[in-house]
Chains A and B, each alone.
Chain A
Amino acid sequence: MLVCDSISKRYGSVVALRSANLKVQPGEIHAILGGNGSGKSTLAKIMAGTVQPDGGTIHWNGVPLRIMNPVSATKSGIAVTFQELSLLGNLTVAENICFPAMPTRLGRVQVARMRERVHPLLKDLELEGMEDVLVDHLPSGYQYLVEYAKALFRNPDILVLDEITSALHREQVTRITQSIRALAERGTAVLFVSHRLPEIFSLCDGVTVFRNGENVGTFRTGEVSANQLLALMTGDPNAVDTTAALDGEPYTLAPRSASLEVESLPVRSHKISLSIRSGEIVGIAGIQGQGQSELVRRLFGMHGVVTVTLNGKIVRIGSPRSAVRQGFAFVSGDREHEGTFAQHSLSTNASCVGQFIFHRKAMDIKAEFDRMHVHYHRLSQKMQELSGGNQQKVVLTRWTSVHPAILLADDPTKGVDVAARHEVHQMFVALAESGTAIVMVSSDEEELVALASMYPLMRVLVMYDGTFVQELKGAEVTLQSLIEASIPQEDNHVISQAENL
């Protein structure tokens, strides 16, 4: 039996895992369920040896496992698939699966033997003939299957699958689930990290719910309902009731002139059309990596020239600078790389757009910060000294000071604590009320539900593989409806823009 006992991990001031416990029997498929930031991926990384826990022990059949690095994890019989994949794009499928112990003779890697060894695995997953393909040349769904094959190749006693199904098509999911069942029958303990309820109920024997880095409940899947799990996951006993509110007030929008029209914007291999009115908040949901980020970045001129209709006028955006001049704003969740100048002062961070793009005189930053509830010591202090939430408020100050027509946001509350997150939401609502149209990508379904309950002019578009597959308005925006819509059941689920939007 696999026993994880009081595992803890902090990253700086953020607690990822606090005393997490877990028990899984050999041959059991056990789900780890939790929202983004619940600590489930950290646990997977600790098992993989890529992250060292601050405390706690892991035992397998009574023997303590000392996982110092990925090599000792493999030696201990653990194999992990990573949500962000561990594959190397410049190597072939066969090389990746055998990595790092490619078969050799007299020191030379034997390509033929390598092919032979991986062939049965690839055959099971219907990937025959792909041994010599470079991973970079594979579509992302296939890459996830190869990541899975790579884990299987290590013949693990304990297999940890971190969101393996998130980028897969339905028939690929079927292939993997069949394989997982066969593996469990042979006695492997499978940890299935996911935030998708239907898969958990159909595949897993047991389920443990994580919230805020803690185990908040372990059940047999037959003895628990989806609503109970949802309530535990969100920590809100009423999270369940939102589905019942479907027949509540109908979603209406005051007849205003459209403020942004986008037609056939290329995202991934598809073309997207979008229409947003002034004062509206449009959430973009979906499992990660479906083109959501590309959409907002394209609109902000980060991927070449785009043409949009803004307030009836055709506008050409060639760069972020021209986007800003046309009235666009962009709030990135990747504060370190895109959102902030970490080494510069708060005042520079707040006034850079106004000063350098609009050549305005310095604003009263102190007053603006007070209005935005920024907690800080001095205006000259470095941006990186602030917490994530405060940094994001400074970024918002930067934009509100130039009154943007369109605010684009990509996971703006990533790594922001709950209280500050709520404040950011309130600022979004205030901005929308003042007439700004907001497009907000979020990988956190709960966040979209929360915003929808705060603001009536909110709708959510669910994205899958570069297209919108569903539009949800007002009370239709619930955790379940979002999660369901994120994974298309059939390929014809992809609805045409003309019909629905």
Chain B
Amino acid sequence: MLFRKLKTYSFIPAVILFLVFLILNSLLSPMFFTISSLSGFFATYAPLVVLAVGETFVLVGGGIDISLGAIVSVVNVLLVTLWGLHWSLPLAIVVSMLAGTAIGVVNGILISILKVTPLLATFATSAMGYGAALWIMPTPGGSIATGFANWYSSNYGWFPIAAIFIVLPYVIWAIWRGTRWGTYLFAVGKNEEKSFASGAPVVRVKMLSYVLAAFMASIAGVILTANIVSGDATIGSPDTLSAIAAPVIGGVSLLGGIGDAGGAIFGALFLGLVVNTVFASQVSTFYQSLLTGSIILLGIVITTLIKRLTSMKLRKVVG
């Protein structure tokens, strides 16, 4: 008897969307494939990519985290403030990342130990995070080491430095995925009770998924600061939903237990490309968001339909 061994390729639609918009971009703005334009693109969207991979850890583990944008804000304002107090850059980065990751520890305790619903727990910590960021820095401003900012948006030969932060999250994911803890994460996301009955350390697995997500969000906060070279307590807020949408576009299931960070990365880059395309087409700023939303919707509807049709055919072949 023959059984399907293949795992599902749920990330394919995101790759297709990414490629389509890559081509569209190069047609609309012939300058897109120049090194300076590419490094600008990566520098702008690497934070979203890192966030999307962070959210993937939580989604695969069967939870959801809507506090990642707030963590970005906290890390951003803390980093700029500490730099303004003449701290050394490495120390400021480490301390602000520790603060960001600490929010993940709180999320993890609330959700895995106190069994608070993930959406509500992270909703509350998110509000507290934005509040703390606003308290640290009531008005946008400040700065960061210019050497660091310049390094982030520079190129090493033809290689954009910011692209490291497209690859790094996948490396972290792949290492994690290859350990027992990676298997536990998928197991717990699929079914908590059965994982427990099979001997998985369920509490620690869930806890770690939120800590890892917050850690990734802290990285995103640092590189976002390098990109915008200032502090703003509300800077992370638009990224919260994008960080959830990107992995879902990339085939990560909101129900848990299914997905790969690769899909999340392509999902994030697709979202970035859409904004870029709209920007390049020189539409009035008043319509940009409307147009961006419509394009994303169209892309998702078309790929969903294609996926449904192809899976129906597959089923016919199998049956």
Contact = CB atoms under 8 A, between A and B. Distances in A.
Whether chains A and B associate is yes
Interface stretch (B31-39, B180-188, B206-214, B302-310): B180-188
A104 B184 CA distance: 14
B159 interface: no
A372 interface: no
A70 B198 contact: yes
B258 interface: yes
Contacts of B201: 100
Contact of A99 (B3, B182, B187, B193): B187
Given A109-B178, A133-B3, A91 B196 contact: no
Contact of B200 (A50, A82, A87, A99): A99
Given A82-B197, A85-B194, A88-B194, A107 B187 contact: no
Contact of B199 (A74, A95, A137, A138): A74
Nearest to A72: B199
A326 to B, nearest CB: 30
A88 B187 contact: yes
B146 interface: no
A305 B35 CA distance: 57
A104 B194 CA distance: 22
A91 B186 CA distance: 8
Contacts of B186: 88, 90-91
Nearest to B182: A109
B178 A108 contact: yes
Q: A interface, by DSSP: helix, strand, loop or mixed?
A: loop
Given A100-B184, A137-B3, A71 B178 contact: no
Between A88, A100, A109, A138, the greatest number of chain B beta carbons within 10 A of the residue's beta carbon is seen for A88
Contact of B197 (A70, A96, A107): A70
A108 B257 CA distance: 20
B187 to A, nearest CB: 5
Contacts of B189: 90
Contacts of B198: 70, 86, 88, 96, 99-100, 150
Contacts of A134: 4-5, 7
Interface string B163-194: 00000000000000011101110110111011
Between A74, A91, A100, A102, the greatest number of chain B beta carbons within 10 A of the residue's beta carbon is seen for A100
B177 to A, nearest CB: 9
Contacts of A71: 199
Interface string A101-125: 1101001110000000000000000
B154 interface: no
Given A104-B179, A109-B180, A138 B195 contact: no
A91 B194 contact: no
A130 interface: yes
A177 B5 CA distance: 28
Interface in B4-26: 4-5, 7
A48 B197 contact: yes
B178 A90 contact: no
A90 B196 contact: no
A107 B176 CA distance: 9
Interface in A30-68: 48, 50
A312 interface: no
A174 B189 CA distance: 35
Contacts of A137: 3-5
A237 interface: no
A130 B195 CA distance: 21
B197 A90 contact: no
A132 interface: yes
A89 interface: yes
Contacts of B3: 130, 133, 137-138
A74 B199 CA distance: 8
A108 B181 CA distance: 10
A82 B196 CA distance: 13
A70 B190 contact: no
A89 B179 CA distance: 19
A150 B196 CA distance: 15
Nearest to A82: B197
Interface string A72-93: 0010000000100111111100
Interface string A370-405: 000000000000000000000000000000000000
Contacts of A50: 193, 196-197
B257 to A, nearest CB: 5
B133 to A, nearest CB: 36
B258 A90 contact: yes
B4 A104 contact: no
A461 to B, nearest CB: 26
B179 A91 contact: no
A88 B191 CA distance: 7
A100 B4 contact: no
B191 to A, nearest CB: 6
Contacts of B182: 109
A88 to B, nearest CB: 5
A69 to B, nearest CB: 8
Interface string A247-289: 0000000000000000000000000000000000000000000
A293 to B, nearest CB: 20
A35 B4 CA distance: 38
A89 B190 CA distance: 8
Contact of A100 (B5, B178, B180): B180
Interface string A131-148: 011100110000000000
Nearest to A92: B5
Contacts of B184: 100
Nearest to B195: A88
A133 B5 contact: yes
A88 B195 CA distance: 7
Contacts of B180: 100-102, 104, 107, 109
A71 B200 CA distance: 8
Nearest to A99: B198
Contacts of B199: 70-71, 74, 99-101
A483 to B, nearest CB: 28
A109 B197 contact: no
Nearest to B7: A134
Nearest to B184: A100
Given A48-B197, A90-B258, A107 B5 contact: no
B57 to A, nearest CB: 16
A74 to B, nearest CB: 6
A87 B194 contact: yes
Contacts of B190: 88-91
Q: What are the nearest 9 A-B pairs in CB distance? A: A133-B3, A100-B199, A86-B197, A108-B178, A88-B187, A90-B257, A90-B190, A70-B199, A71-B199
20 contacts: A50-B193, A50-B196, A70-B196, A70-B198, A82-B197, A85-B194, A87-B194, A88-B195, A88-B257, A90-B187, A90-B257, A91-B183, A95-B183, A96-B198, A99-B183, A99-B200, A109-B182, A133-B4, A137-B3, A138-B3
Given A70-B196, A102-B183, 15 more contacts: A70-B198, A71-B199, A86-B194, A86-B198, A88-B186, A88-B195, A91-B183, A91-B187, A95-B183, A99-B200, A102-B180, A104-B179, A109-B182, A134-B5, A138-B3
Interface of B: 3-5, 7, 178-180, 182-184, 186-187, 189-191, 193-201, 257-258
